[in-house]
Chains A and B, each alone.
Chain A
Amino acid sequence: MSHHKISVTVNGATSEDEVEARLLLVHYLREVRNLTGTHVGCDTSNCGACTVMLNGQTVKSCSVLAVAADGADVLTVEGLAADGEMSPVQQGFQQCHGLQCGYCTPGMVMAATGLLLENPDPDEDEVREGIEGNLCRCTGYSMIVDSVCWAASHGGAGEVATRHAAH
């Protein structure tokens, strides 16, 4: 298995690492960068628990090779808060009880953040469509939809994600 040197910026911090060609971005984030907030919930790219932002776009990090992220700027759930204050999306999930076990939550929060970057004022159907690729087994989704709508009216995607996307 060939190894490659990559340089990836995650939540503003750049690191050079030697990785196997087959290493998935999600495992790079979790095992190499020790950022365990991004979760793995399936092996068929259905669940979205591993959703992160890669150069301003949401991606399922189980479907990206770490080597493909060489030179990229990645934003994970750990990087969303600005100066210790949770982003509007994170706050919305707490205010509207958009999470229970919390396992899908980081991916769901990232997907919702990506949605609000593209569409700052989505209606309920647009929210449902926007998070369709993220599965939650606890909430039945209604309160997640409410959480995203709450965020839309309280600052949207938030400062960090907006800056990341503009970069």
Chain B
Amino acid sequence: MGSMVGAAVVRKEDPALLTGRGTYVDDIRLPGTVHMVYVRSYLAHARIVSIDTSEAVAKPGVLGVWTNADLEGLPPNRSVPGMERPCLARGKVHFVGEPVAVVVAADRYAAADAAEAVLVEYEELPVMASIEAATAEGATPILDGLDSNVVLEQVLSATDAEAELAAAPHRLAIHLKNQRCAAVPMEPTVCLADWQASGLTLWATTQTPHHSRNELAAMFGLSQQEVRVVAPDVGGGFGAKASCYPEFILTAELSKRLRRPVKFVETRSENMVSMVHGRAQSHDVEVGFDDDGTLLALRVRITQDCGGWPDATGIGLPTLTSFMSGGCYKIPVIAPSFRSVVTNTTPVGSYRGAGRPEASFMIERVVDHVAAELGLDPLDVRRRNFVQPGEMPFATQFEGIVYDEADFPGALDKLLTTIDYAALRADQAARRDDPTAPLLGIGFSTFVEMGGFGPTPLFEQFGYVGGWESANIRLNTDGSAVIKVGTSPHGQGHQTAFAQIVADELSIPFDHISLVHGDTATVQEGIGTMGSRGAPVGGSAVFQAAGKVRAKALTIAAHMLEADEADLELADGRFSVKGAPDQGVTMAEVAVRSFKPHLLPDGFDLGLNETAYFEPKNLSYPSGAHCCVVEVDRDTGFVKIARYVAVDDCGTVINPLMATGQIHGGVAQGIAQALIEEVRYGDDGQPASGTLVDYTLPSAMDLPRYETDHVVTKTSFNPLGAKGLGESGATAAPQAVVNAVVDALGHLGVRDVEMPCTPQKVWRILAEKAS
């Protein structure tokens, strides 16, 4: 049997999902289920004067209407102490879409009718829908009890690097914006709560069922064994389903009150104002460098728009941006600091990359600015500053942030073998002289990010029990295996990838291995799927659990064969004596024997059923080199991606098919951020992108065919050598695209184009330069 790890096997998940037999939360039917619908604020900042529910309560099919006042004692959502968000607005609304009341009715149409009949009287307050407005002189504090909208400020270095910046031969100040984006998983938030005498069961669209269980148990004063959270098939998450939402708490509370299952299904328009947004950072950067482009000092002042309520995860993201601000470069001194600002907008949390794409965009734009300033090739500046393979692991100046094994120049070299850089530059020059030809731009992104989230001391800061992950593997008597894993996939293909790992370790056929996940009643303690931790942390737990099963199976096999353990080998599903292949026992025979106490040594612990908790030594650091080639239409400003080439170093590749899928999807989201997507608000806090008509996701017509490849530098931080890959594309792509767009316009003196580089924005720049 050849190695399964590294094989492009098709997914076990697919047949159910392809035939309409998946089980998403809204597909679950419990007898007696009633439906919850929100009454949401249509104002961005207002005091609630009164709520009249009388007409709504009288509507047919309505079981009740509740406001904050009706739910006294219901705990708020966890966040920064003193800044917790109540499940329903308490006296004041902070953003458009904030829930003010809930209606429960027999079906969702009736509930929606009744929600429309709830009359809320507001007294409008000054709206601050941007960082500028919220930090202006005399701005009204949005959070009660605070005297400012700056809710968190941190300096992450001992120095402000002013001396080094002042001493540098060259110094540039750059302002960069990482616009607010929406994750838009195709399945919005859905939950179904069933509170019985024995406790609460919540089926929810979450990436973190165990974490949600722990939170709900604490909120309701239940013991954790009384709370079961299930994440069945989940339709994408991209980080935004790692947050705990008020509807999880409210459906539980109302199920308790009504003694019936309560379901909540978010509409897309609700999702666009309710699910956490991502990014929303602006950066004021100063960089010092010498004549040959060597970076000498970097100062980054980050401002995060954290929306109407600080999100428990979101509030920690600028820390990650700060840690990664040096990218894959050796910069003698880096001085990051950040402030988080509350505004009258939807709260901001994780979105694919969560804090690292912001850093990567910043430093990769800075490098291109430095190159432009000095008239150097952007690749030369990168090469001059790379941390070299011989310097790995590389301790950054930030305590605990140590890059694992990587080859930054090697990834770039491999990238350059697939593009003819000189020919592209020649083509670019020729097109600049030909007014009928679209302009050509070439952009690079040599990036490094964080994957494999853990270890525990870091993850505790985000409110999790730990940064490890768990796996249990048991063998049935026929030698087939069941894995239970604490990660909770929502598209990543864990059923397939983890079965590949176990197939290799236990020499069991891939088809004889299944996976259980996403259910706190059946899966041992787990953490979840976020921060590119599925393969490096979850996969390593599976690998270790398989190792334990294998060790025990070996002991049994040795007993059966009356041989020394050291003399046995496992291959093709069979333990045999080295040099005497006829003497052997199959894994199935060993599995049966594991349940026969009379045929085992006295006191032998029965069964083959082993659990492992894997704590990574540190974060892993996926890296790579991407290149984007764009064509810019001179008349319309439309940017077309002519080529997108990605070379990624995620360490060990478990399944090339799925790895390619992860790169494609991440790059697609990165391209979309660079060219298309932005969550926008009017000055009055009204969302200007509140539906998929206005927040345009890219379609198949908007995205290119991607060219992908790998360099493999295994990490020593986990036994699989895998670094994670889920967020690399979204981290790498925005700056590859923007660098290309700016490069296309470079001969016009253009140094920056703000994301998203829409045709209108690019056309305006072209028109301005022409006049």
Contact = CB atoms under 8 A, between A and B. Distances in A.
Contacts of A77: 18-20
A141 B668 contact: yes
B665 A100 contact: yes
Contacts of A144: 700
A23 B26 CA distance: 17
Nearest to A146: B705
Contacts of B69: none
Nearest to B16: A102
A101 B113 CA distance: 32
A83 interface: no
Contact of B269 (A36, A43, A94, A145): A43
Nearest to B27: A36
Contacts of B660: 97, 143
Contact of A43 (B19, B26, B691, B705): B691
Contacts of B107: 31
Interface stretch (B85-93, B181-189, B515-523, B617-625): B181-189
A39 B20 CA distance: 9
B186 A86 contact: no
A99 B18 CA distance: 9
A49 B693 contact: no
A104 B665 CA distance: 14
Q: Which of B20, B109, B669, B703 has the most CB of A within 10 A?
A: B20
Contacts of B664: 139-143
A41 interface: yes
B15 interface: yes
Q: Which of A20, A36, A77, A90 has the most CB of B within 10 A?
A: A36
Contact of A46 (B21, B666, B669, B693): B693
B10 interface: yes
A37 B20 contact: yes
A7 to B, nearest CB: 22
Interface in B653-687: 657-658, 660-661, 664-669
Q: Which of A80, A97, A124, A135 has the most CB of B within 10 A?
A: A97
B658 A97 contact: yes
B20 A43 contact: no
A86 B15 contact: yes
Contact of A105 (B17, B234, B267): B17
A68 interface: no
B22 A37 contact: yes
A58 B492 CA distance: 29
Q: Which of A39, A128, A137 has the most CB of B within 10 A?
A: A137
Contact of B18 (A20, A93, A129, A143): A93
A72 interface: no
Interface in A111-129: 124, 127-129
Given A47-B268, A100-B491, A42 B109 contact: no
Interface string B506-542: 0000000000000000000000000000000000000
A88 to B, nearest CB: 12
Contacts of A86: 15, 18-19
Contact residue range for chain A?
Answer: 35 or more
Nearest to A46: B692
Contacts of B22: 37, 102
B19 A37 contact: yes
Nearest to B670: A140
Contacts of B15: 86, 94
A97 to B, nearest CB: 5
Nearest to A38: B20
Interface string B11-38: 1011101111110101101000000000
A61 B699 CA distance: 19
A125 B491 CA distance: 26
B358 interface: no
Contacts of A20: 109
A23 B112 CA distance: 13
A43 B273 CA distance: 14
Contact of B657 (A97, A104, A106, A132): A97
Nearest to A148: B700
A115 B186 CA distance: 22
Contacts of B187: 39, 41, 101, 103
A101 to B, nearest CB: 3
Interface in A17-70: 20, 22-23, 30-31, 34-44, 46-47, 49
B24 A42 contact: no
Interface residues of B, number: 54
Given A101-B234, A102-B22, A145-B700, A41 B186 contact: yes
B726 to A, nearest CB: 10
Contact of B705 (A39, A101, A138, A142): A142
B20 A36 contact: yes
B20 A106 contact: yes
A40 B26 CA distance: 10
B706 to A, nearest CB: 6
Nearest to A136: B186
Nearest to A1: B109
Given A39-B235, A139-B661, A101 B186 contact: yes
Contacts of A44: 268-269, 691-693
A124 B704 CA distance: 11
B697 A137 contact: yes
A136 B491 CA distance: 12
Given A35-B20, A94-B14, A135 B692 contact: yes
Contact of A132 (B20, B186, B700): B700
A87 B599 CA distance: 50
A101 B20 contact: no
B490 A101 contact: yes
A132 B667 CA distance: 19
A41 B235 CA distance: 10
Q: Which of A42, A102, A131 has the most CB of B within 10 A?
A: A102
B410 interface: no
B233 interface: yes
B493 interface: yes
A-B pairs, 9 with minimum CB distance: A37-B20, A103-B235, A140-B668, A102-B17, A101-B491, A100-B491, A140-B664, A36-B27, A42-B268
20 contacts: A36-B27, A37-B21, A37-B22, A41-B187, A41-B188, A44-B692, A46-B691, A77-B18, A78-B20, A94-B18, A101-B187, A102-B233, A103-B186, A128-B700, A132-B700, A137-B236, A138-B661, A139-B661, A141-B668, A142-B705
Interface of A: 20, 22-23, 30-31, 34-44, 46-47, 49, 76-78, 80-81, 86, 90, 93-95, 97, 99-106, 109, 124, 127-129, 131-145
Given A90-B18, A140-B669, A141-B668, 16 more contacts: A36-B20, A38-B20, A39-B24, A39-B186, A78-B19, A81-B19, A100-B236, A100-B491, A100-B492, A100-B493, A101-B491, A103-B187, A104-B235, A129-B701, A140-B666, A142-B664
